[in-house]
Amino acid sequence: MLLGVNIDHVATVREARKSFEPDLITAAVLSQLGGADSITVHLRQDRRHIQEQDIIILKTALSVPLNVEISSAGTMLEFVCNIRPDKVCLVPESPSEVTTEGGLNLKSRKVFLQTAKAVKKLRANDIEASLFIEPETEMVDLALKAGADAVEINTKDYSESESLSDIDRAYDSLLKIASYASKKRLIVNMGHGLTYDNVSPIARIENVTELNIGHSIVAKAVFYGIEKAVKMMRKEIDQA
């Protein structure tokens, strides 16, 4: 299973002082050396961590695919279509959230139409279009209808559940949705809240192409360095 490393929080530390360090490109290159199969960054409307300039440089500096998360509102869609990263994952975004809170609500006609329009534009620019969704069959059907190449399934319920029965229930829905979405020929990725301690069962799910993991790896990197932190996550996934 592939590992996508989200390096947003390297930029969070940099932006805390509006400084030039820690250097994001060094973090990306060291993540690649540690075994990252792709690098993810989230260009948020408030630019709280990743900036346009980061994406422009990452696009030329990386030898692995670049995945950019954006909301389809605002100017970000136009920007990514000019820069042309390998993949774009459309996510919902609210200004007050600490991190992405849930998948796209494709059941809303307004959200569906805006998403389908964005997917069309991304695909016309040769960018793989992915939609961040909750593990529900109806959402998979709507993602397909919107023309997406891929879905990223939100693992938040699994990663944030506290009782064993809730974890089992959340895991079961991830198993079912991975099978359902792959039968529909969608690329299936997963992410949100995955850590060194909870990733193994997720890494055993068949039909999942890539896991996107950010906070836990950057947190580990504070103590071990980012190359080693990525290697440690790679090992958890490979030995699952």
215 is catalytic: no
Greatest Cα pair distance, the chain, in angstroms, is: 47
Question: Which of residues 34, 35, 85, 214 is near ligand PXP by CB under 6 A?
Answer: 214
Interface with ligand PXP, residue 42, by CB under 6 A: yes
Interface with ligand PXP, residue 234, by CB under 6 A: no
| 103 and 92 Cβ atoms separated by less than 8 Å | yes
Helix residue ranges per DSSP H, the chain:
8-16, 24-34, 52-61, 76-83, 109-124, 137-145, 156-160, 164-183, 199-203, 215-224, 226-238
| 108 and 128 Cβ atoms separated by less than 8 Å | no
Quote the DSSP letter at residue 239: T
Shortest separation between residue 145's beta carbon and ligand PXP, angstroms = 20
Which one of 9, 152, 192, 227 is the catalytic residue?
192
Shortest separation between residue 124's beta carbon and ligand PXP, angstroms = 23
134 is catalytic: no
132 or 158: whose CB is closer to ligand PXP?
132
Footprint on residues 176-195 left by ligand PXP (CB under 6 A): 191-194
Interface with ligand PXP, residue 102, by CB under 6 A: no
The DSSP result for 30-47, as a single string, is HHHHHT-SEEEEE--TT-
The site for ligand PXP (CB under 6 A) is made up of 6, 8, 42, 69, 89, 91, 99-100, 132, 152, 191-194, 212-216
